[in-house]
Amino acid sequence: MKGLAFFHFILLLALLSAHQANAFDLGTERIRLSGFGTLGVTSAGEKKFGLQKDYIHDAQFGDVSVLTDSVFGLQLDIDLLKNITATVQVVAEDRARQDFNNIVDWAYLSYRPTSNTVIRAGRMGIDLFMLSEYRNVGYAYLWTHPVVEFYKPISLSHYEGFDFKYSRRIKPGYFEFKVYGGQTGSDIKLANGDLNLRMRPFVGFNTSLEDNNWKVRLTYATTDTAFIRSPADPLLNELSHVPQSSWPQASALYNRLIGVNKQTHYYSAGFLYDKHNWVVQSEFSLMTSKWLSVNMTNGYLSVGRRIGPVTFYTVGSYAKSRDNPRVDRTQIFTQGLEGLVSAAEDLLHAVHMDQNTVSLGFRWDLHPRAALKAQWDHTWVRKHGGGLMLLKEPLDHNITLNTFSLNLNFVF
């Protein structure tokens, strides 16, 4: 019932907003209203192994849902002065935690002192990916949803702060450089509760070079984890108080599993080619941190072929933790720690990632502002490698999962 009600709500908003958008078009050019949406249905996961497209949404455990991919957004741009614009974007989608703070995805002022420079301040989209500016706009990319292995590990949609962008036309193409700073955070859905995460300072830069048919992009960002509230806190607290003489490894495991006050570095490279009816896009990233949960590498390669209004595509992707510490049971010298040892071992397995996916799909551009998409994902998850999943029991064997998704994307 909840899913159908939300689906109908999205459909109603789409119809109403399309009417309102036309009304704004008849008014002043200083005020611009635009929007986007997705009406989707998805079958994913199994009874004990849940799949999510990102951490802020509920998982699917073998059911069919109209909530997973369905989303609706409105964006209002107002030219306050000659070189100053205010932008607000609101997004309606099913989340693990619903509040007004999450609905307002963007709210910032932009100032253009010259034709080549822009300064923005406020709440803006996280600019770490090729899809950063339109991650919620399904019509803007080829697939039914962003590649899970690449986009899910960083389930951050916005940050509060500033950015400075410089761009100009040079001989090879259009050059852009951006530097930014601020703070960010997210409320993440886990199998045994919610994780509240706040990260500051969050700073970084990206640079790109593009022409009509191609784009190359490089990104670097770093942040400190300032606050975490997690279902694992009681276990970590207990682990931190184990005497060195009883279990020497306990201290080292605690330092790898605790996330607060840990710095993370993010590096990524992306490439896009779109010419002669071929569409190729790829991104790879490396995250380094003493926090085990985010110390990983991931990437994808997507290849599509246009035949008239239909584009057929395939995607290969992976996500893998960079290390996999194990409990050394020969170094436990005190009886009565078995429960704590087993719980720590389960947590190590729960945050470890080792999975890859192959996808097949098509996109039919049935209207200049609407596209119908269908996609099948076949995912392999290795033993104790389900860190991107919601598990109702430890993953003590290899598994394969299938996801089927069908959606209608539109913009106005």
CA dihedral 377, 383, 387, 392 (to 10 degrees): 90
CA distance 316 to 298: 11
CA distance 70 to 66: 6
CB 254 within 8 A of CB 348: no
Q: How far is CA 56 from the centre of its chain?
A: 9
334 token code pair: 């005190």
pTM across the whole model: 0.91
CB 203 within 8 A of CB 181: yes
Helices 249-257, 233-240: inter-axial angle, 10-degree rounding: 150
DSSP 36-69: EEEEEEEE---SSEEB-SSTTS--BSS-EESSSS
Q: Where are the alpha helices (DSSP H) in 98-173?
A: 100-103, 148-151
| Amino acid 95: pLDDT | 80
Helices 338-351, 233-240: inter-axial angle, 10-degree rounding: 130
Q: What structural domains and CATH numbers belong to the chain?
A: 42-62+133-411 (2.40.160)
In the predicted model, residues of the chain with pLDDT beneath 50 are 1-2, 17-23, 25-26
| Amino acid 203: pLDDT | 98
Express each pLDDT in 101-129 by its tens digit.
Answer: 789 999 999 999 999 999 999 999 999 99
CA distance 295 to 153: 10
CB 43 within 8 A of CB 59: no
CA distance 160 to 62: 37
Residue 195: which of 159, 223, 160, 155 has the closest Cα?
155
